[in-house]
Chain A
């Protein structure tokens, strides 16, 4: 269903959501936009391209306790609070759908991720303009067909709101000033970087190309791309023992395929010891391996890896050179 809702009514709506203590929305702090728990809806930033970090950190924590152990037992603590996310961009909602394919694979579900997903409501907000590194249009991640409970389109003086789930319907039913509409929301995204499917397909013939050595020569292997990428979810599993060394926690920490020790095995051998191999692996994982495994690109076109690269490496530019 589609409704038009006044901006004032949406503000009231967010007022009530923030009073519940469960609302997480974008705020601007020291010029950086990030997702934070909201106490007062006036804090919410509406005029932003996208957050510096994606909402991945709310679903796959940087450091997550898997269980606690002591001398004779293992105890898990799986309790997740209900959360409402307002203002997630459509591309980032797509990133959750990508992560779902990996982490909610039937029979092999990641219980920690699953509980966080299940107990989160997604109120997405369509972008009003493109950022300089956006290429969501090319990957079809600029809009949503699924993955949201409510989807807001800013139409200037009012919002068009789409409902995408029963929970979304429940929420919208409590809004007093709303009108069903058949209008299509406007589609303002222009001037994006372009990446065609044909170009992505060329990866299949380019594995032995010398472009990888050439383009990775300026890479610092700093892991900035993987840290800010909304679909990079690799992790290490480590123990964090207490001082008595009998009890402690098993934790997972985010890991990066760009770091050398990522493929190191007992005895010291490192499989992807060359920087160019690690550089190439990430691009191939995003645009070929994941396609072969799960049927879609692992990239959602947010451009964060480009924006945050200290060497100004532009993955789209490289792919377009193939």
Chain B
């Protein structure tokens, strides 16, 4: 009885199926030195991410990590990266013409469709300015869909500014506000934390959506200020950071409550997030 042959035609290997863990090579077309330890690496990529989505970027031999897209384009993706660990330090050495292994885009992104017809307040602190730049570039292209746009950027010092080369353009199109943490020689602009600048602006919450990205402490104090100014939690959208490995909701690391930050986020309405506790 040739029992194993019974299997015969049923035995198959699905080689055509998409492998969610396998990155593809993408060529680096430009490297911009933003600050002493931050670079923007532009890769050729036609994946056309939604504002707020992210990519898993590999350095073979070290591993991979998630980075938010800092651009809105159908031809390229800007990855703005600070040297903080092994992988990011290695990424600082990447040169134009070399290849990076990349997967994505992943995550939900900001629901820009839902924001149509609203005034948008965009608040970014430090490297948090990178993911909100996708929103800014999206609005630049779809300007007529949105009302007034206020930008609020906070950096430690002028040396830490990201996307300086975009500032003039943004000042023309939007209301541009920027502040640094401490006084700095030669700086005549705002000094102090973002939330103080925000409160000073006295913008009204009427018909507004707030997009808020930055370090956890900044999010906390800024939300407090926004609430003081009359904003409700369902007007505020934040992008969360968590330990991620797979980026596609399998490995488990980024779970907070019943949400996967990689798959259900990283963008959440603050109303949802505030109930998400470890």
Contacts and interface: CB of A to CB of B under 8 A. Distances in A.
A308 interface: no
A81 to B, nearest CB: 9
Nearest to A256: B252
Interface in B262-278: 277-278
Given A248-B60, A266-B84, A78 B15 contact: yes
B22 A76 contact: yes
Contacts of B250: 102-103, 108, 110, 233, 235
Contacts of B101: 69, 74
Question: How many interface residues does chain A have, given as a range?
Answer: 35 or more
Contacts of A271: 242-243, 256, 278
Contacts of A207: 277
A266 B249 CA distance: 19
Interface string A221-243: 00000000000011111110100
B22 to A, nearest CB: 6
B13 A79 contact: yes
Q: Give the interface centre of B1, B19, B62 by most chain A CB atoms within 10 Å.
A: B19
B61 A239 contact: yes
Given A237-B63, A265-B242, A174 B3 contact: yes
B255 interface: yes
Interface string A276-304: 01000100110011001100000000000
Nearest to B6: A170
Interface in A234-269: 234-239, 241, 245-246, 248, 250, 252, 255, 257, 262-267, 269
Nearest to A265: B243
B230 interface: no
A67 to B, nearest CB: 6
Contact of A257 (B22, B61, B252): B252
Contacts of A167: 6-7, 10
A121 B4 CA distance: 11
Interface string B127-143: 00000000000000000
A228 to B, nearest CB: 17
B85 interface: yes
Interface residues of B, number: 50
Contacts of A111: 14, 17-21
Contacts of B23: 74
Most-contacted residue by chain B among A13, A66, A266, A269 (CB, 10 A): A266
Q: Is the interface of B mostly helix, strand, loop or mixed?
A: loop
Contacts of A262: 243, 253
Contact of B13 (A80, A237, A241, A272): A80
Contacts of B4: 17, 20, 22, 82
A255 B60 contact: no
Given A237-B63, A289-B258, A74 B252 contact: no
Interface in B228-252: 241-243, 245-246, 248-252
A220 interface: no
Contacts of B10: 167
Contacts of B11: 82, 119
Contacts of A293: 258
B84 A267 contact: yes
Contacts of B64: 237
Interface string A141-184: 00000000000000000000000000100110010000000000
B253 A255 contact: yes
B241 A171 contact: no
Interface string A102-121: 11010011110011001101
Nearest to A294: B258
A13 B3 CA distance: 9
A233 B252 CA distance: 8
B257 interface: yes
A248 B61 CA distance: 7
A278 B258 CA distance: 14
A317 to B, nearest CB: 24
A239 B14 contact: no
Contacts of A266: 65, 84-85, 88
A249 B135 CA distance: 36
A165 to B, nearest CB: 10
A105 B1 CA distance: 38
19 contacts: A17-B3, A17-B4, A67-B22, A102-B250, A109-B17, A110-B21, A111-B14, A114-B14, A115-B14, A170-B6, A234-B253, A239-B60, A239-B61, A239-B62, A241-B61, A271-B256, A272-B278, A281-B255, A289-B257
Q: Which 9 A-B pairs give the minimum distances between C-beta atoms?
A: A234-B252, A241-B61, A289-B258, A20-B4, A292-B258, A170-B6, A237-B245, A69-B60, A16-B3
